[in-house]
Amino acid sequence: KIAQDFFIKIYKKGYIEKRIVQQYYSQKEKIFLPGRFVEGTCKYCGYQEARSDQCDNCGRILEPRDLKNPRNRLSNSPVILKETEHYFLNWQKLENFLKQYVKSKSRYWRKWVAAETRGWLKKGLLPRSITRDIKWGIKIPIKNIAPQDRIKNWNKKSIYVWFEAVIGYFSASIQYFKGNARWKDFWLKKSVRHYYFMGKDNLLFHTLFWPGQLHLYDPRLHLPDVVCVNQYLNLEGKKFSKSRGVIIKCDYLAKKYGIDETRFYLCWIMPETKDSSFWWDDFAEQINSILVGKIGNLVHRTLVLAKKKNYRPFSKPEIEKQIIQKTKKAFLEINKDIPACRFRDYLREVVNLADYGNQYFDKKKLWAIENKEEFNKITSNLLYLIGAIRIFLLPLLPNASGKLRRILGIKEIKELNDFDSLHKYLLESFKKMKIKKSEPLFKKINKEQVKSEKK
């Protein structure tokens, strides 16, 4: 219903028009084929399994004639181009609005995302079909369309998925609140901030098309703020493909190697600015050397000694100035990285702080300190760092963060507005801290084990 409402409102504003085009048709099945059921060779990059509407290899949006040697993906039989009539959304009329939108929002996007979006605008937007010759899907709201504007064989056509799928962001909000007006808090208030996450093949639909659809439907609606687009993640240098067996199931990874371990590595190699690859050997190496060897090591050896030497926290510990400065610097960087979707940088800031903690531990030789007061003082500094690292990792590694909180016997932070609130929480935590027996936060990966994964 909402998708049809979008269609009609945009139609009444004069942005939807009729056009006769050529579309792929299977003479064998006697049907027009949706874009994803037609494959061929991309004329731009030569990729032999490009879809008729988009090439997953070079990311280009394709027109029917851009595909060489087209075939039915299911039957492998050849297909032809045949005339059919469809509704098109005239994006040329929206170019000025979209240029202003991109100008105002692109400073929050990754540089390559902004550059690619501007490239499309510079080249000029063309009208795009918003219906397809398929019987299933959302029907064209023909009753609300003037007779002279109705396309031929409209009863055998449906609204194209690229137009209606993004509307799910909006309709899902309304459905969630089941008629309650609270959905307006997310879409009409200026104080909200909208984030969208996707792969690069969906860039155009979220940096240009969806903002345009929202604006035409209701200019009051909140437009996307941060469009967080990733490049492609490959497996051992190869493109993921279920049919070819080039695949890893996330639930398998999480069950066998740990949820937090999996989340850590995927964030560590996230393809934010260029394609990256999941390598099994590197997976084991990064988990063992960084997650276990740096973060886990700092936490475990500090807590083991604290328990062994009967550490008693001061009610008002005097944390060294340099410790506070290092923590504040990490907080300020992370506080810029996360809103900007620089997740790799965010994670490396946390690891750098753990590095500093390990260096501090070794420099002070915590294991050799005999003086009780000195031991408690140095341990408090380390626990301050560990407490900060725990908070920083909470969004990414919730299980390990929660586990560490329980070992420390402290309450969870309720509000984190600035560094002062973090500093206050860390100091308050010492008052009720009761350290339990330490146990490893992360599982080390047997390198021999991952070798079998590559077969």
Q: Per the domain annotation, does 263 fall within a domain?
A: yes
pLDDT digits (tens, 9 = 90+) for 277-289: 999 999 999 999 9
pLDDT digits (tens, 9 = 90+) for 349-402: 999 999 999 999 999 999 999 999 999 999 999 999 999 999 999 999 999 999
Q: Is the pLDDT confidence value at 290 over 70?
A: yes
Q: Is the pLDDT confidence value at 455 over 70?
A: no
What CA–CA distance (Å, rounded) separates 305 from 311? Answer: 8
Q: Which comes out higher in pLDDT, residue 387 or 57?
A: 387
Which whole number is the average pLDDT over 315-339?
95
Q: Is the pLDDT confidence value at 35 over 80?
A: no
Which whole number is the average pLDDT over 334-350?
97
Q: Per the domain annotation, does 188 fall within a domain?
A: no
Q: Per the domain annotation, does 121 fall within a domain?
A: no
What's the confidence (pLDDT) of residue 241?
Answer: 82
What's the confidence (pLDDT) of residue 317?
Answer: 85
295: domain CATH number is: 1.10.730.10
pLDDT digits (tens, 9 = 90+) for 87-126: 999 999 999 999 999 999 999 999 999 999 999 999 999 9
pLDDT digits (tens, 9 = 90+) for 399-414: 999 999 999 999 999 8
Q: Per the domain annotation, does 130 fall within a domain?
A: no
Strands 80-89 and 128-129: antiparallel
Q: Per the domain annotation, does 7 fall within a domain?
A: no
What's the confidence (pLDDT) of residue 53?
Answer: 81
Domain that holds residue 258: 250-432
Helices within 180-275 (DSSP H only) = 183-187, 203-204, 210-217, 250-257, 259-268
Q: Is the pLDDT confidence value at 244 over 90?
A: no
Q: Is the pLDDT confidence value at 314 over 80?
A: no
Which whole number is the average pLDDT over 290-297?
98
Q: Does residue 262 sit in helix, strand or coil? A: helix
Q: What percent of the chain has pLDDT over 70?
A: 100
What CA–CA distance (Å, rounded) separates 316 from 430? Answer: 8
Q: Per the domain annotation, does 441 fall within a domain?
A: no
What's the confidence (pLDDT) of residue 64?
Answer: 77
pLDDT digits (tens, 9 = 90+) for 162-217: 899 999 999 999 999 987 889 999 999 999 999 999 999 999 999 999 999 999 99
Q: Is the pLDDT confidence value at 54 over 90?
A: no
Q: Per the domain annotation, does 410 fall within a domain?
A: yes
Q: Is the pLDDT confidence value at 315 over 80?
A: no
* Number of compact structural domains in the chain: 1
What CA–CA distance (Å, rounded) separates 398 from 263? Answer: 10
Q: Per the domain annotation, does 332 fall within a domain?
A: yes
Look up residue 144 and give its amino acid: N
